[in-house]
Amino acid sequence: MIDSYAHATFDVMYVSENIPGPTEETLEGSDIARNFNSQLTHCCTCNDKCLQDCCECLKISGGANYTLIQNHTKGVYIMNRKNNVTCTYPVIECSELCRCSDNCGNRLVQKGPINSLYVKPSENKLKGLGLYTNTYIPKGSFICEYAGEVLTKSQAMSRYHYNEKHGRMNYIFCLNEHVAGKTTQMYIDPSSFGNIGRYINHSCEPNCEIVPVRFYYPLPRLAVFSLLDIQPESEITFDYGSDDINNCVSEVTRKLCYCSSNKCKGFMPYLPC
């Protein structure tokens, strides 16, 4: 993965992709370690560029994941929408086990973030730093990963409450995936080890979303895709998660939202349980 970005401070270690969190002698901790030491077993035997009728990766994905469009003078791959009334297909990219070329249209997230991103203070100073783009981004484009340490639930909740107690920023993201009637959760914390995605602020009316994308190993990557056309010098935002009241935190600890959108709900989302 090519990632030429870096942090401006020395208190955060730059990682271009997820890394395992601290060792935990639990079943969940063992699962995380095993997934990092595993590799997806399927692969395609395509000669060059993959076609959905014969590519094993695209068959699992329910069709082509990306479509090539012309953006000014260059081609750009954008996300396809394949949702239907019965299921939502996973996004599986071709990997190093596949025979297709590096120019295959099913290799996007693994090539790293776009090169137009920069970090600066948000227009609303209460939000702190934010992630911006200096070029136009078409709707459906991959922007970057939201990468950090993969934690167990107990580790995530412990860090969350520590951050609350000490007035620290909370970067923990919980991914909920629903498969075969079951819900699995993955917690990512880029507070100490993270990439450029850690600077993306929340918005109740975001211009991006998180899409789980898999390649190489079974754990999903949290890929940030644009929900609409994004103009130059715009801030990159996504919705941090559910705002449903649950038992993880009390209403007293809810933080004000400063997204300033017309659909602002007033408070930041909760960390899901």
pLDDT tens per residue, range 178-194: 887 888 999 999 999 99
- The kind and range of the H/E element at 173 are strand 173-179
User: Would residue 234 count as lying in a domain?
Assistant: yes
* Domain that includes residue 255, residue range: 112-239+251-273
Is residue 247 predicted with pLDDT exceeding 80? Answer: no
User: Would residue 206 count as lying in a domain?
Assistant: yes
Structure tokens at 133: 């783009």
Is residue 204 predicted with pLDDT exceeding 90? Answer: yes
User: Would residue 70 count as lying in a domain?
Assistant: no
Alpha helices per DSSP H over the chain: 27-36, 56-60, 153-166
Q: What is the CATH number of the domain that holds 185?
A: 2.170.270.10
User: Would residue 138 count as lying in a domain?
Assistant: yes
User: What's the rounded Cα separation, in Å, for the pair 148 and 14?
Assistant: 9
Is residue 273 predicted with pLDDT exceeding 70? Answer: no
Is residue 249 predicted with pLDDT exceeding 50? Answer: no
Is residue 69 predicted with pLDDT exceeding 80? Answer: yes
User: Would residue 231 count as lying in a domain?
Assistant: yes
Contact 2, 130 (CB under 8 A): no
Number of structural domains the chain divides into: 1
More confident residue, 245 or 220: 220
More confident residue, 271 or 1: 1
User: Would residue 269 count as lying in a domain?
Assistant: yes
pLDDT tens digits, 103-156:
899 999 999 999 999 999 998 888 899 999 999 999 999 999 999 999 999 999
User: Would residue 134 count as lying in a domain?
Assistant: yes
Is residue 257 predicted with pLDDT exceeding 50? Answer: yes
Closest CA to 188 of 157, 136, 147: 147
Give CA angle at 121 (115, 125), nearest 5°: 150
3-8: average pLDDT? 94
Mean pLDDT of the chain: 89
Closest CA to 110 of 98, 128, 119, 118: 98
Letter string b/e over residues 165-202, b meaning 16 or more CB atoms within 10 A of that residue's CB: eeeeebbbbbbeeeeeeeeeebbbbbbebbbbbbbbbb
Q: What CA–CA distances, in Å, run from 215 to 103, 128, 246, 249, 253?
A: 15, 33, 33, 34, 37
Q: What percent of the chain has pLDDT over 90?
A: 66
Burial of 28 (0-12, 13-18, 19+ CB in 10 A): middle
User: What's the rounded Cα separation, in Å, for the pair 53 and 57?
Assistant: 10
Would you state the pLDDT for residue 271? Answer: 58
pLDDT tens digits, 78-112:
999 876 655 678 999 999 899 999 989 999 999 99
Phi-psi region of 31 (alpha: psi -120 to 50; beta: other; left: phi over 0): alpha
3-state secondary structure of 133: strand
User: What's the rounded Cα separation, in Å, for the pair 54 and 178?
Assistant: 27
Closest CA to 19 of 194, 234, 169: 194
Would you state the pLDDT for residue 246? Answer: 40
Would you state the pLDDT for residue 239? Answer: 93
User: Would residue 158 count as lying in a domain?
Assistant: yes
